[in-house]
Amino acid sequence: MNLTLLMYLVPSLVMFGCGVYGFLTRKNMIAIMISLELMLNSVDINFVVFNRYLFPGQMDGMFFTLFAIAIAAAETALALAIIINVFRVARKVDINELTKLKF
């Protein structure tokens, strides 16, 4: 069976959609982080697949993916540190209870 471009792109977009859905509906901050990771990783898939199928002669997409992975790792580390800080101060990881700042 030959894998076509679409067979990668559709799952990647579904993955992105799952990420957005999870970001909007999840209550637990760790789960929100996981949703964000899904979104970032689906972007990586997009880049690699476009590069592999449409522009096999160059490496731009692959390089972008490498950098995007590094950036995603930095983002996760920072977000986890902040979640831990919030937990230390408030003893909560539920995003719905972070409601002190509102009008």
Q: Which of 31, 85, 94, 96 binds other proteins (CB under 8 A)?
A: 85
Does 7 participate in binding other proteins (rule CB under 8 A)?
Answer: no
Bridge partners for 28 per DSSP: 94
Integer Cα distance of 5 and 61 in angstroms = 15
Q: Are 77 and 11 in contact (CB under 8 A)?
A: no
Q: Which of residues 16-35 bind other proteins (CB under 8 A)?
A: 16, 19, 23, 29, 32
> Nearest approach, Cβ of 20 to other proteins (angstroms)?
8
**Which residue in 1, 2, 4, 100 binds other proteins (CB under 8 A)?**
100
**Using the rule CB under 8 A, is 90 a contact of other proteins?**
yes
Task: Give the end-to-end CA distance of the chain in Å, rounded to a whole number.
Answer: 57
52: Cβ contacts below 8 Å, ≥ 6 apart: 61
The contact pattern for other proteins, residues 40-79, with x = CB under 8 A and - = no contact, is x-xx--xx--xx--xx--x-xx-xx--xx--x--xx--xx
Maximum CA extent, the chain:
57
Q: Tokens for 31, please give them.
A: 């789960």
3-class state of residue 1 by DSSP: coil
Contacts with other proteins by CB under 8 A lie at 16, 19, 23, 29, 32, 36, 39-40, 42-43, 46-47, 50-51, 54-55, 58, 60-61, 63-64, 67-68, 71, 74-75, 78-79, 81-83, 85-86, 89-90, 95, 98, 100-103
